[in-house]
Amino acid sequence: EPEVTQTPSHQVTQMGQEVILRCVPISNHLYFYWYRQILGQKVEFLVSFYNNEISEKSEIFDDQFSVERPDGSNFTLKIRSTKLEDSAMYFCASNLDREPRAFFGQGTRLTVV
């Protein structure tokens, strides 16, 4: 089965630093997403991206966050000036056009210290 790949698997950063989480969606997929799961809580939608622009974002996705698809294969989530409460598992997902099933990456565990 095709896979969504995320790197790194675990990132530790100091409060106030910037981090970039990377994702390689499945090659022919057109819709891309970031989700976040704080330890022990539910998975929360952050942002969706289609046709090289954000199609929807949640209230969590404020100016601290940005997404980019810099080269046609990678899909990145940048978190500026990280806070302790940004510590979470971040999942990337992608969809084919007209196909509702999402394919999830294995996640990046971000720990802000």
The residues of the shown chain that bind other proteins, judged by CB under 8 A, are: 31, 33, 35, 42-45, 48, 50, 55-56, 89, 91, 93, 95, 99-107, 109
**Residue 37 Cα distances to 16, 50, 91, angstroms:** 20, 22, 8
Q: Measured from the CB atom, is 14 or 53 closer to other proteins? A: 53
Q: Measured from the CB atom, is 13 or 109 closer to other proteins? A: 109
CB of 55 to other proteins, least distance (A): 5
CB of 70 to other proteins, least distance (A): 21
CB of 52 to other proteins, least distance (A): 14
Q: Which long-range contacts (CB under 8 A, 24 or more apart) does 101-107 make?
A: 102/33, 103/2, 103/3, 103/4, 103/25, 103/26, 103/29, 104/4, 104/35, 105/3, 105/4, 105/5, 105/6, 105/23, 106/5, 106/6, 106/9, 107/6, 107/9, 107/37
Q: Measured from the CB atom, is 8 or 16 closer to other proteins? A: 8
Q: Measured from the CB atom, is 15 or 54 closer to other proteins? A: 54
CB of 81 to other proteins, least distance (A): 26
Token pair of 88, please? 């979470």
